[in-house]
Structure 1
Amino acid sequence: MPQQKTSSLKTYFDELEETNGDDEFRVWLSRAFDARAELATFFADRREGRGTRRYIGFLKGSFNLSFRFSFDDGKPDVTIRFPKPGHTATALRDEKVVNEEVQIMEYLRQNPNSPIPRVHSWGLLAESPRQLGPFIIMDYVHGTLLSTILRQPDTEDVVLNPNIDNRMLDKIYYQIAGYMLQLSQLTFPRIGAISKDNATSTWHVTGRPLTYNMNELATVASYPVDQFPTGPFDRASDYLKSLANEHILHLQTQRNLANNPKIAQKRFIARHHFAQLIPKYYPKDSGVCIPFCDDLRPANILINPETLQITAILDLEFTNAMPAAFTYDPPWWLLLTGPDLWLERDAMEEFVALYEPKMELFLSALERAETERAIEGRQKAGGMALSSRMRESWRSGRFWFDFAARKSFDVDMVYWAAFHDDGDGKEVERLGGMACADMESFIQMKMEQLEAYKEECTARFSSEL
Structure 2
Amino acid sequence: MEWDHLSEEYNDRLFAGWLRLLFQESPALPSRLASQHRGGTTQVTDVSEFTTGAYNICCTVSFDDGFRALVRFPILGRSRFRTEKTLNEASVMKFLCQHTTLPVPRLLGMGRWGGGPYLIMTFLEGTLLSKRLRNPTLDPPRVDPNVSDADIELAYRGMAQVMLELSKPTFSSIGALREESGAWKVIQRPLSLNMNELVRAGNLPPAIFGDKTFGTAGEYFQELATQQLLHLQYQRNDVVEDEQDCRKKYLARYLFRKIARDLYQDQPGPFHLYCDDLRPSNVLVSGPEFTTTGVIDWEFTYVAPAEFTYTAPWWLLFESPEAWEADLNAFLLRYTPRLQLFLGVLRSCETEQIQKGTMTESQRLSDHMAQSMDNGRFWFCLAARKSFMFDDIYWTFLDQRYFGPGSLEDRLCLLSQEERDELETLVSVKMQQVSEKRLDEHLSIDDVIDL
Give distance in 2, aligned partners of 1:435 and 1:295. 34
**1:88 — aligned with what?**
79
Change (3 A) 1:253 1:390: same
**2:202 matched to which residue of 1?**
221
Contact kept in structure 2, 1:115 and 1:312, CA below 8 Å: yes
Q: Distance in 2 between matches of 1:43 and 1:383?
A: 43
Provide closer, same or farther for how the CA distance between residues 24 and 45 of structure 1 changes in structure 2, counting only shifts above 3 A.
same
1:32 has 2:22 as partner: yes
Going from structure 1 to structure 2, the CA distance change for 1:280 and 1:151 (only over 3 Å counts) comes to farther
Q: Kindly indicate whether the alpha-carbon contact (under 8 Å) linking 1:371 and 1:377 is maintained by their aligned counterparts in 2.
A: no
Residue aligning to 1:203? 184
1:336 equivalent to 2:338? Answer: no
Match of 2:35 in 1: 44
d(CA) in 2 for partners of 1:132, 1:404? 34
- The aligned residue for residue 186 of structure 1 is 169
1:378, 1:386 within 8 Å by CA — same for their partners in 2?
A: no
In structure 2, what is the Cα distance between the partners aligned to 1:18 and 1:377? 50
Instruction: State how 1:378-389 maps to structure 2 within 5 Å.
Output: 383=362, 385-389=364-368
Indicate if the aligned counterparts of 2:6 and 2:439 stay in contact, CA closer than 8 A. no
1:303/1:384 CA distance change after superposition, 3 Å: closer
Give per-residue Cα distances to partners, 1:376-418, cap 9 Å, x unaligned: 99988x9373111111111100010000001111111100111
Question: Displacement of 1:264 after TM fit?
Answer: 1.2
Structure 2: distance between partners of 1:35 and 1:176: 38
Select the residue among 438, 444, 453 that pairs with 2:428: 444
1:230-265 deviation line (CA, Å, top 9, x unaligned)? 121111101111111111011011012012122212
- CA deviations 1:254-290 (Å, max 9, x no partner) are 0120121222122111111111111444255132111
Residue equivalent to 1:293: 275
Letter in 2 for 1:96: K
**1:61 and 2:53 matched:** yes
> Cα distance 1:379–1:142, how it changes in 2: closer, same or farther (>3 A)?
closer
Residues 1:156 and 1:271: Cα distance change in structure 2 (over 3 Å): farther
Partner in structure 1 of residue 446 of structure 2: none
> 1:23: Cα distance to partner?
0.9
Give the match for residue 309 of structure 2: 327
Do the aligned partners of 1:187 and 1:291 also contact (CA within 8 Å) in 2?
yes
| CA distance, structure 2, for counterparts of residue 93 and residue 391 of structure 1 | 36
> 2:259 and 2:154 mapped to 1: Cα distance?
37
Checking the alignment, whether the CA contact within 8 Å between 2:110 and 2:120 is kept in structure 1 is yes
State the one-letter code of the partner of 1:363: L
Q: Which residue of 2 aligns with 1:241?
A: 222
Match in the other structure for 1:434:
418
Distance in 2 of aligned mates of 1:305 and 1:449:
55
What code does the residue aligned with 2:86 have? V
Q: Which residue of 2 aligns with 1:19?
A: 9
Query: Sequence identity of aligned pairs in percent?
Result: 34
Q: What are the superposed Cα offsets for residues 299-352 of structure 1, whole Å, 9 maximum, x if unpaired?
A: 222222644222221110010000111000010111122444335x22x22211
Give the corresponding residue for 2:373. 394
Contact 1:370–1:377 (Cα < 8 Å) also in 2: no
Residue equivalent to 1:359: 339
Aligned-pair CA distance for 1:74: 2.1
Q: Does the residue aligned with 2:58 lie in a helix, a strand or coil?
A: strand
Given the superposition, is the C-alpha separation of residues 103 and 434 from structure 1 closer, same or farther in structure 2, using an over 3 Å criterion? same
Q: Hey, what does 1:276 align to over in structure 2?
A: 258
Q: What do residues 350-372 of structure 1 show as CA deviations (whole Å, max 9, x unaligned)?
A: 21121111111111111111111
Q: CA deviation at 1:438?
A: 2.3
Residue 145 of structure 1 and its aligned partner are, at CA, apart by 2.1
Q: Counterparts in 2 of 1:79-118, with a 5 A limit?
A: 79-89=70-80, 92-98=81-87, 100-111=88-99, 113-118=101-106
Q: Alignment partner of 1:259: what SS?
A: coil
Counterpart Cα distance in 2 of 1:133 and 1:455: 24
TM value normalised by structure 1: 0.87
Q: Corresponding residue for 1:78?
A: 69
- The answer to whether residue 369 in structure 2 is matched with residue 371 in structure 1 is no
**Contact preservation (8 Å) 1:79, 1:138:** yes
State the alpha-carbon separation in 2 of the partners of residues 283 and 412 from structure 1.
Answer: 23
CA distance in 1: counterparts of 2:243 and 2:421, whole angstroms: 16
What CA deviation, in whole Å up to 9, does each residue of 1:139-160 have, x standing for no partner? 2223222222334554445654
CA distance change for structure 1 residues 374 and 384 in 2, over 3 Å: closer, same or farther?
closer
SS of match in other structure, 1:28: helix
List aligned pairs for 1:107-146, cutoff 5 A: 107-111=95-99, 113-123=101-111, 125=112, 128=113, 131-146=114-129
Aligned partners of 1:284 and 1:455: how far apart in 2? 38
Distance 1:313-1:234 versus aligned 2 partners, 3 A rule:
same
> Shift of the alpha carbon at 1:455?
10
Distance (whole Å) between structure 2 residues aligned to residue 403 and residue 156 of structure 1: 27
Map Cα deviations across residues 176-232 of structure 1 (whole Å, 9 max, x no partner).
1112112221101010000111x2x21110101111011111122121221211121
Cα RMSD for the two superposed structures = 2.3
Paired residue type of 2:14 = E
User: Quick one: distance in 1 between partners of 2:354 and 2:177?
Assistant: 28
Partner AA of 1:415 in structure 2: Y
Rate the CA distance shift 1:158–1:305 in 2: closer, same or farther, 3 A. farther
Which position in structure 2 is the counterpart of 1:459? none
TM-score relative to the length of structure 2:
0.90
Q: Kindly indicate whether residue 245 of structure 2 is the aligned counterpart of residue 263 of structure 1.
A: yes
Partners of 1:184 and 1:379 within 8 A in 2: no
Q: Does 1:253 align with 2:244?
A: no
Task: Summarize the Cα distance change of 1:159–1:436 in structure 2 as closer, same or farther, 3 Å threshold.
Answer: farther
**Alignment gaps of 5+ in structure 1:** 1-10, 457-465
AA in 2 matched with 1:249 = L
Question: Deviation at 1:436?
Answer: 2.1
